[in-house]
Amino acid sequence: MSKVFNWHLGREMEYPYEAAYPERQFAFVFNINRCIACQSCTMACKSTWTFSKGQEQMWWANVETKPYGGYPQSWDRQILQLLEKANPEGQVWSGKPTGAQQAGPDGGMYGRFDGKTIFEARGPVLAPDSSRVLGYLPTDEEWNSPNIYEDNPVGEKGKPMQFHKTGESLPVHKTWFFYLARICNHCSYPACLAACPRKAIYKRPEDGIVLIDQQQCRGYRKCVEACPYKKSMYRGNTRVSEKCIACFPRVEGNDPESDGAPLETRCMAACIGQIRMQGLVKTNPDGTWAEDRNHPLYYLVHVAKVALPLYPQFGTEPNGYYIPPRWVPRPYLRQMFGPGVDAAIERYTNPDRELLAVLNLFRKSNRIIYRYELKEGPKVYEGELRGKPVTLYNDTVIAYGKKGEELFRTTIEEPIYERPPIHANSI
């Protein structure tokens, strides 16, 4: 095992290979507060990549209702239980979030994770030589119902199907659920890659996308067992494993629609709720994100700090980040997104003018945004929201592409278009 630095955990951790980082890293932010579970993303992916024989139960992109739903069923509960068994009561964070990627005495960005990752916990649960990563193989039944428990809320404690009949209000709802959209996180320390005895899985140096070499794979399913997010899947009729390929022809700019410009993936482009933004972030030689103040993903993760990694304690340093749902009990969210939850929700609930502008960049274009610029506009509203003063400005935010070309510009206030009388009742 090598020692590698994991900035999500604020410390070094064990990993089976030496550290190696891409020039840019495929990353994304999903704003859970906006997801409506329309499943357009799920179907966009399915109809592009997994519509063939043998892929019937394969959903590289999925949206599950938390806390009960999951694809495969109860994937997160099962891996959390294995980790707890390996390290009883020890899966905790200490220190305080410093907001810096480099670790100090108090830890780093989110404090320090003192528990064991899936790479460090394997010994106590598994025979030492049986696997390089702690994990489990889901059963066929667990893969069969990708949308199980959709819209099922948590109700009154200990009373199945009894929900609170009073109205709900922030900060926390008593009856609650939320939609968790998921794809492969193209992790910086991929568990699938670590576990593969054939070395069939690799991480591309140009964009950090994690791929399975279909010729090299022999279908041992070690990646399926090891991926804590269960985003590597076995295909019975070809007897090899497959996973999300991050729509790499689009990201490379090779889609006929793009005219050579890098395009976001199919699931991002299809998103009706405008919850998704994907990009390629610059990295430092030690794997941390290079400062890039006006990159929208850098801003959301490192400046505004409203977007957090999914289950950072697993240790894979996932490159998917989530703006947590405001109405959900905090202990549940802290387990899922780490110690940054309270500050992220506070900031998202009371956004400043830059955060409002960046949130307006989501889904205005399918082209990948490399930089944004804010042009200040006039004050348009002054009032009070949940006991706090708010002022709104009609700022303009401008998005730029890979070559510095302007992709689009948009304002905080949505323009109103009046339908001409001739079309007034056309729908």
Which residues are at the interface with ligand SF4 (CB under 6 A)?
Answer: 35-41, 63, 179, 181, 184-187, 190-192, 210, 227, 229, 231-232, 243, 270-273, 275-276, 316
Q: Which is nearer to ligand SF4, 224 or 369 (CB)?
A: 224
324/345 Cα distance (integer angstroms)? 7
88/45 Cα distance (integer angstroms)? 39
Q: How far is the CB of 225 from ligand SF4 (least distance, A)?
A: 11
Q: How far is the CB of 32 from ligand SF4 (least distance, A)?
A: 9
Q: How far is the CB of 54 from ligand SF4 (least distance, A)?
A: 19
Q: Which is nearer to ligand SF4, 59 or 370 (CB)?
A: 59
Residues 204/238/63/81 CA torsion (nearest 10 deg):
-90
Q: Which is nearer to ligand SF4, 185 or 360 (CB)?
A: 185
242/244 Cα distance (integer angstroms)? 7
Q: How far is the CB of 230 from ligand SF4 (least distance, A)?
A: 7
In 95-165, beta strands by DSSP E? 112-113
Q: Which is nearer to ligand SF4, 242 or 395 (CB)?
A: 242
- Contact between residue 4 and residue 19 where contact means Cβ atoms under 8 Å apart: yes
Q: Which is nearer to ligand SF4, 178 or 332 (CB)?
A: 178
Q: Which is nearer to ligand SF4, 24 or 276 (CB)?
A: 276
- Contact between residue 241 and residue 250 where contact means Cβ atoms under 8 Å apart: no
Q: How far is the CB of 363 from ligand SF4 (least distance, A)?
A: 9
Q: How far is the CB of 3 from ligand SF4 (least distance, A)?
A: 19
Instruction: Say how far residue 30 (Cα) sits from the centre of its chain.
Output: 6
Instruction: Please report which helix (H) or strand (E) contains residue 383, including its range.
Output: strand 379-385
3-state SS of 232-243?
EEEECCCCEEEE
365/372 Cα distance (integer angstroms)? 13
Q: How far is the CB of 212 from ligand SF4 (least distance, A)?
A: 9
How many CA atoms does the CB half-sphere of 293 hold within 13 Å? 3
- Output b/e per residue, 164-186; b: 16+ Cβ within 10 A: eeeeeeeeebbebbbbbbbbbbb
The set of residues, in sequence order, having a beta carbon less than 8 Å from that of 191 and lying 6+ positions away, is 118, 119, 133, 135, 223, 226, 227, 228, 314, 316
427/423 Cα distance (integer angstroms)? 8
**Tokens standing for residue 142:** 């667990």
Q: How far is the CB of 192 from ligand SF4 (least distance, A)?
A: 3
Q: Which is nearer to ligand SF4, 98 or 235 (CB)?
A: 235
Residue closest to ligand SF4, measured at CB: 273
Q: Tokens 């592009």 sit at which residue?
A: 48
Q: How far is the CB of 74 from ligand SF4 (least distance, A)?
A: 17
Q: Specify which residues 380 forms β-bridges with.
A: none
Q: Which is nearer to ligand SF4, 187 or 263 (CB)?
A: 187
Q: Which is nearer to ligand SF4, 32 or 357 (CB)?
A: 32
